Amino acid sequence: MRIVALTTLAIAATLFAPAAADDRKWLPLAKDGIHDPASPALRLKQEPAEALSKLPRDTAGNLVNWVKALDSGAIAPRTNILPETNVRVRDDEIIVSKFGSLPAVVFPHRPHTLWLDCSNCHEKLFVSKAGANRFSMQKILDGEQCGVCHGAVAFPLTECNRCHSLPNEVLMRRMRK
């Protein structure tokens, strides 16, 4: 089943009511504090619960696993506002290593490029050159870099292990090879 109301989905992504993993719930648009409940146009919009409950479950954020939704064909978002944009799906990963207490960050291009054309992030948010970007959790938390989407319409920044997923010992072994 394809979900067409992606604008509503994007807005709804941050407007859920916390629930147990087996009982996902989202606030109705009339009660979300953003939409005017007296507006006659409100009844024309798809309710978040109607759209999001049909998508694969997740345990964080808006409780939707967007990568599974893409892979299964449940959603088919536009990659760009321009319909003629050719999407370049990339299967490579970038390892952002900073030897500290947290594991290294693994950035998987595939789930990002299935949804977005490269131009959405490059060259505005990130320079397309190895080593040219200085990542900062402070910037990310301030809504820059990865924080433009994560914490807004993608899984929240409280899910540290989703990015910081490569133990430093494993990274060191890879680097020695």
Are 165 and 103 within 8 A, CB to CB?
Answer: yes
Q: In this structure, what CATH number is given to the domain that contains residue 149?
A: 3.90.10.10
Are 156 and 150 within 8 A, CB to CB?
Answer: yes
Split into its structural domains, the chain has a count of 2
Residues 30 and 66 reside in one and the same domain? yes
In a domain, 16, yes or no: yes
Cα angle vertex 120, ends 119, 125, to 5°?
Answer: 95
Q: What dihedral do alpha carbons 63, 69, 74, 80 form, nearest 10°?
A: 110
Are 36 and 88 within 8 A, CB to CB?
Answer: no
Q: Buried b vs exposed e over 133-156: b needs ≥16 C-beta within 10 Å?
A: eeeeeeebeeeebbbbbbbebbbe
Q: What mean pLDDT value characterizes the chain?
A: 82
Q: Which domain covers residue 32, as residue numbers?
A: 6-72
In a domain, 87, yes or no: no
The predicted structure's pLDDT at residue 44: 94
Residue 10: pLDDT over 90: no
pLDDT in tens, 46-80: 999 998 999 999 988 888 998 899 889 998 877 67
Residues 62 and 133 reside in one and the same domain? no
